[in-house]
Amino acid sequence: MHFSTLISVALAAAPAAVSAAGTLGFALGTKNPDGSCKSQSEYESDMDAIVAASGSTLVRGYAASDCNAAQNILPAAKEKGFKVVLGIWPDVEESFTKDTEAVKEYGTKYEDQVYAITVGSETLYRGNFTGAELLEKIQTVKKIMPNTKVGTADSWNKYADGTADDVIRGKPDILLINAFGYWQGQPIDNATHTYFDDMMQAITHIQSVAGDTDSIEIWNGETGWPTDGGSDYGAASAGTDNAATYYSEGVCGMLAWGVNVFYFEAFDEPWKPHTVGDSGNAADETKWGAMGADRKTKFDLKC
Ligand SMILES: *[C@@H]1O[C@H](CO)[C@@H](O)[C@H](O)[C@H]1NC(C)=O
Ligand SMILES: *[C@@H]1O[C@H](CO)[C@@H](O)[C@H](O)[C@H]1NC(C)=O
């Protein structure tokens, strides 16, 4: 798929005319609402709710050893016919080692349930690694699971501005691009425009550095919008109506465009502590779920 071709197709025709729709998945946390670690059966209930509401059978996590995530989620996925993107948190050596061990032990045991492995989430954005350093970590993990797709996830602008070029040249199997109209402080009526623009910039840059359009599988790794009770960010107002609009226009539009999307996130996470953002304002990150902590949908999740 070449993005500039897709754009002209999308401009020329209704999205419904684009044949190959993207695949939808959800980011899924490792903890119950009270902060305890999820068991296998709790992951199974999560998966039941996700497939019933959206039809999706794919979830992604961030750190395979956190709350014994790989150990508990992979048998649940097998039971429920789901696939999982396992994460390795490489920022510090300790978590890199622990997550890699978890992938080695459980990922290989449940290989059919592992859709892919991401080494790092926004590490270039945070400045933890250079592209070359991150590529080396990706290649280390690839040696452990040579038959599984391995790559990374980062913010759209770190792909667009060249920070990830060494990663791209190394031709990882898969790259996830995070892009949020919300985190660019966009009002809801321009948020989908910004989301598409971000994704387009990142994808066209990746494809031009890769020198082709198909050697690296590309996903939108995260997008989403906080619902009622969440924090505003600039002109981006939290609210369930806005989240529903962003989902139906942005997420469903991106899928119709042929791009794979992970929605951030499946369920509210009320255990999360409030953080103070760059602006000095308190940020509530507990209300990003497409569904509540009770696993009930807040708006229509079918496209
Ligand atoms: C790397 O990432 C961690 C968060 O995972 C952060 O606390 C730390 O400051 C970062 N290190 C550098 C050198 O940026
Ligand atoms: C809308 O989004 C586009 C793409 O990000 C941006 O260039 C433009 O400035 C935005 N418009 C407004 C009014 O913020």
Residue 241 pLDDT greater than 60, yes or no: yes
Q: How confident is the model at residue 283 (pLDDT cuts 50, 70, 90)?
A: confident
How much is the pLDDT for 260?
Answer: 97
Residue in the block written with tokens 């789901």: 82
Is pTM beyond 0.85 here?
yes
Question: Quick one: which ligand is closest to 180's CA?
Answer: 2
Residue in the block written with tokens 């502590």: 273
Give me the mean pLDDT over the 61-71 stretch. Answer: 98
Q: How confident is the model at residue 278 (pLDDT cuts 50, 70, 90)?
A: low
How much is the pLDDT for 274?
Answer: 78
Tens digit of each residue's pLDDT (9 = 90 or more) over 118-166: 999 999 999 999 999 999 999 999 999 999 999 999 999 999 999 999 9
Tens digit of each residue's pLDDT (9 = 90 or more) over 287-301: 999 999 999 999 999
How much is the pLDDT for 17?
Answer: 40
The rounded distance, in Å, linking the Cα atoms of 76 and 70 is 10
The verdict on whether 122 is a catalytic residue reads yes
The rounded distance, in Å, linking the Cα atoms of 226 and 38 is 23
Q: How confident is the model at residue 277 (pLDDT cuts 50, 70, 90)?
A: low
The rounded distance, in Å, linking the Cα atoms of 226 and 246 is 10
CA–centroid distance, 202 to ligand 2, in Å, is 16
The rounded distance, in Å, linking the Cα atoms of 272 and 250 is 26
How much is the pLDDT for 2?
Answer: 46
How much is the pLDDT for 284?
Answer: 83
Domains belonging to the chain, first-starting first, are: 4-14+22-283 (3.20.20.80)
Give me the mean pLDDT over the 13-34 stretch. Answer: 78
CA–centroid distance, 285 to ligand 1, in Å, is 20
Selecting among 42, 79, 101, 122, the annotated active-site residue is: 122
CA–centroid distance, 133 to ligand 1, in Å, is 14
Token pair listed for 302: 């079918």
Selecting among 93, 136, 217, 222, the annotated active-site residue is: 222
How much is the pLDDT for 280?
Answer: 64
The rounded distance, in Å, linking the Cα atoms of 76 and 296 is 20
Give me the mean pLDDT over the 65-83 stretch. Answer: 98
